[in-house]
Amino acid sequence: MRPVVYQLFVRHFSNEKQNGKPWGTKVENGCGLFTGVNDASLRELAGMGVTHLWLTGVLRHATRTAYTDLPAHPASVVKGIAGSPYAVVDYFDVDPDLAECPGKRLAEFRDLLARVRKWGMIPMIDFVPNHVSRCYASTVAPQWEFGRQDRTDVFFERNNSYFYLDRGTGDGRMMLPDGEFLPERSRGRVTGNNAATWSPLDTDWYETVKLNYGCDYRHGAAEAEALPGLMAQRETLPRTWLLLDEVLAWWQSMGVGGFRCDMAHMVPLPFWRWAIAHARLRGGVFFMAEAYNDGMKLTEGDALSALLSAGFNAVYDADAYHALRGLYEGGGWANDLDRFHRPENPLFSHGVRYVENHDEPRMASPILWGGVGEKVARAVMAAQFLTSCGPVLFYNGQEVAERADGPSGFGGTNGRTSIFDYTTLPRLQLWYNHGRCDGATLPAELLNLRDFCSRLLRMLQLPALAYGSFYGLNWANQQTEQFGRDPGESISGHRVYAFLRHDPASRSAILVVCNFSPVADADVRVHFSEDACNWARRTADGFQFSDLLEPETSPVLIARSTLLSSGLPLSIPAGSARVLSWDCS
C-alpha cells in the first residue's frame, strides 16, 4: 500500500475559538485537544484514503503556559506563547495543553492512539533526535535524564549528552535573544543548529541544545562513520543512543506505529542503522525522515539515499516540491519537471511528496506561490502526487485551502500557520463544525476542493500510481502549438504538463495532464509517440480514455493512427488536471 500521511497538528485541528489575537494566550485563542480528534473526524480522514496519521506537536515541550506541578518555562527559551513542539522538555510525556484533564494527559493520548487504529490508520508522532529544549527535564522517566553524568568542562566527551561551550570564549552568561538564561551560567551549550556561541542569534535554534551521539559533529561524516556498528554490544554504545532507544520503545509500547524524524540528516548514520533495526525487532514501525542535503548533514554524498539505506521507509523530497513552487516563484517551466520523476532514483519510490507542511507556506497564502496558489492547487497536487510511487504528505487544512489567516505571534505573517502560537485554522473550523466534521457550513467551492483532494488521495492506490513506472510526454509535445503555449512563445510546455504511469503486472496505464495556468483554460492536443505506446504495451488499433476524477464524463474513443498523428484532444480548466485511464477499445 502506498502511504498517505495526514499531518494533524493537534493544537490547531479541533480549535474552534474565534476572534483570537496575536500573541494570545490559550484562554484567549483556544487550543485543540486529543478528544477533539474524534470518531467523526477519523472516519472522514480514513475515507479520504489516509493510511498514516501524523499527530504533530504531542510531545511535552517548552511553553509559557503553566499547569499544576508544571511551571511555565522562562520566556528566553520559548518561541511564542505556546512554544515550539521541537523544543521537547520530556520525551516520555505529552503536552498538557492538549488534554481535557491535564493530569490524565497520557491516558487521553493512549485513547486517541486506539481510536486512530480503530479506523484503520497507523498513528505517528514526531521523533526529535538532534536537539532538546534548554529546559529538558523528564518528570515521567527521570531515570533516563540527559546530561546527568556529563563532564561540563569539555566541549566534547563521548558519553556526554551535550556539547559544552568553552568558558574562555564568553563571560559565562548564556545570552539569548530574549535575555539571559540563568541555568546556563558558566556551562553554556551548543544550539540545535550547531551555533557554538554564548550569544546565539534570533535566527538560530537558540531555545534548543544539540544532542551528542558520541562523535564531534565538527569533524563531519568521517568521524560519525567510526561509531559502533549494528551488532555492537549495548555497553559499547554512547549513552545518548540508549536514552533515545528507550524513547522509541516507550511510544511503541503505547501503540505508536510510526515516527517522523526531525532533521534526520544531522544525526549520525550508525545510530539510525542501530535504532531502526532495534525498533523493528519490537514490531512493525514506519520511519519517515525530514532530511536535506545541506551543510549540516553528517553524511558523505547524498544524505537522502544514505538514510534510506540506513533503514528509513521514506525521506522528504524537497527538490520536487521546490521545482513546482518554482513554476510560480522562479520562472520555471513544466518542461523542467521530468528530471524529478526518474524511476531509477530511490526517491521515486521512497521520496515523500508534499505541497504543504508546517515548515512551508500555505499554497493559498496570498503572499507566496505567486499569489495564485489557491487557483492552481488541483494541478499542483496532481503533478506532485501522481508522478511517483512514494509516500504522500498532506497537511491539515490543505484540503480547504487554508490561508494562514489565524492569529500569529512569534511566527509572524509569513504565509505559514504558526507552530509557536495558539492559533486556528478558520476554514477547517467550518468543516469541523463543532465535531460533526460534515462541512455543513463550508462554502461550496471549498467543499468541492475537499472532494477533489479525497478523490485524488484515494486514487493513489491504483496499481499504475502505486507501483507503476513514469513516462513524460512533454518532450514529444514541445512543437505542438496546442499544448499550453503562451502568446509569443515558440516552444510549448510552459504551463501544461503531461505524463503516463504504467504497471505491467496489472496492465493498467494512466494519462495525467495538468494545466498550471491560474487563469486560462487549456484546449490541448497531447501527441503520443510510437515509443510511448510500446512502453505502455498498448498495441491495439483503437483506444479509450476514461476520466478517473470525473467518472460521469463520457470516455474519449480514438484510433491509434489519430493518437500518433493528431494527438488526443482534451480540455483542462485553469489550475486543474485530467486523470484518465488508457485502455484498448
Query: Mind listing the pLDDT tens digit for each residue in 341-387?
Result: 999 999 999 999 999 999 999 999 999 999 999 999 999 999 999 99
Alpha-carbon distance of 50 to 3, in angstroms, equals: 8
State what percent of residues in the chain have pLDDT above 90: 94
Query: Mind listing the pLDDT tens digit for each residue in 468-489?
Result: 999 999 999 999 999 988 888 9
Number of H helices, E strands in the chain: 16, 22
Kindly state the average pLDDT of the residues 272-294.
97
User: How would residue 222 be classed by pLDDT, with cut points 50, 70 and 90?
Assistant: confident
Decide: helix, strand or coil at residue 571.
strand
Residue 273 reports pLDDT greater than 80: yes
Query: Mind listing the pLDDT tens digit for each residue in 259-270?
Result: 999 999 999 999
Q: pTM of whole model > 0.85? A: yes
Spell out the residues 6+ positions from residue 411 whose beta carbon is closer than 8 angstroms to its own.
80, 417, 418, 419, 420, 421
Kindly state the average pLDDT of the residues 115-128.
98
Spell out the residues 6+ positions from residue 485 whose beta carbon is closer than 8 angstroms to its own.
491, 492, 493, 494
Residue 168 reports pLDDT greater than 80: no
Alpha-carbon distance of 220 to 20, in angstroms, equals: 46
Query: Mind listing the pLDDT tens digit for each residue in 294-334?
Result: 999 999 999 999 999 999 999 999 999 999 999 999 999 99
| Segments making up each domain of the chain, as ranges | 4-125+351-459, 463-584
Contact (CB, 8 A) for 543 and 581: no
- pLDDT confidence of residue 515: 98
Residue 584 reports pLDDT greater than 90: yes
| Among 128, 155, 161, 113, residue whose Cα is nearest residue 61 | 128
- pLDDT confidence of residue 58: 98
Contact (CB, 8 A) for 274 and 301: no
Superfamily for 463-584? Golgi alpha-mannosidase II (2.60.40.1180)
Chain CA centroid to CA 33, Å: 21
Kindly state the average pLDDT of the residues 234-246.
96
Kindly state the average pLDDT of the residues 378-398.
98
- pLDDT confidence of residue 165: 95
- Residue whose entry in the numeric block shows the C-alpha cell 515521567: 140
Residue 169 reports pLDDT greater than 80: no
Contact (CB, 8 A) for 409 and 24: yes
Residue 210 reports pLDDT greater than 80: yes
- pLDDT confidence of residue 487: 87
State what percent of residues in the chain have pLDDT above 70: 100
User: How would residue 171 be classed by pLDDT, with cut points 50, 70 and 90?
Assistant: confident
Q: Would the CA dihedral through 175, 179, 180, 181 be positive or negative?
A: negative
Kindly state the average pLDDT of the residues 506-530.
96
Alpha-carbon distance of 585 to 144, in angstroms, equals: 65
Alpha-carbon distance of 471 to 476, in angstroms, equals: 11
The grid coordinates listed for 77 are 527559551
User: How would residue 585 be classed by pLDDT, with cut points 50, 70 and 90?
Assistant: confident
Spell out the residues 6+ positions from residue 18 whose beta carbon is closer than 8 angstroms to its own.
424, 426, 429
